[in-house]
Amino acid sequence: MTDEKSTQLSSDSLQLCPCGQTPSALWVYPSNTCKYAYVSGDCCGEWNLEFRTEYNDLDSDACMNLAIHYWNHAVRG
Ligand SMILES: [Zn+2]
């Protein structure tokens, strides 16, 4: 399930995904720069958003918290 390029993080306080489901976990993917990463939900895996990692490691708690923050505050169409 988990490949080495993504980090799964679980939270019981995730906002609804634009696909109509609430993800039970988020996946964090590296981008081609260490400044940014992508986060998507395990509901559909299709909607994702880019966020600043603030140079935290992708599997760090700080980065997970950032991913959750950006997910929950992202503008949804
Ligand atoms: Zn979704």
51 is written with which tokens? 């966020």
d(CA 3, CA 55): 21
Q: In this structure, is residue 2 part of a structural domain?
A: no
Q: In this structure, is residue 1 part of a structural domain?
A: no
- 8: CA distance to ligand 1 center in Å? 15
What percent of the chain clears pLDDT 70, i.e. is strictly above it?
A: 87
**67 is in which domain, residue-wise?**
7-73
Q: In this structure, is residue 54 part of a structural domain?
A: yes
Say what the pLDDT of residue 36 is: 95
- C-alpha distance from residue 21 to each of 31, 38, 50, 61 (Å): 25, 19, 20, 25
- 50: CA distance to ligand 1 center in Å? 15
Number of domains within the chain: 1
- 37: CA distance to ligand 1 center in Å? 18
In degrees rounded to 5, what are phi and psi of residue 19?
A: -75, -10
**Tens digit of pLDDT for each residue in 17-29?**
999 999 999 999 9
Please give the model's pTM, rounded to 2 decimal places.
Answer: 0.82
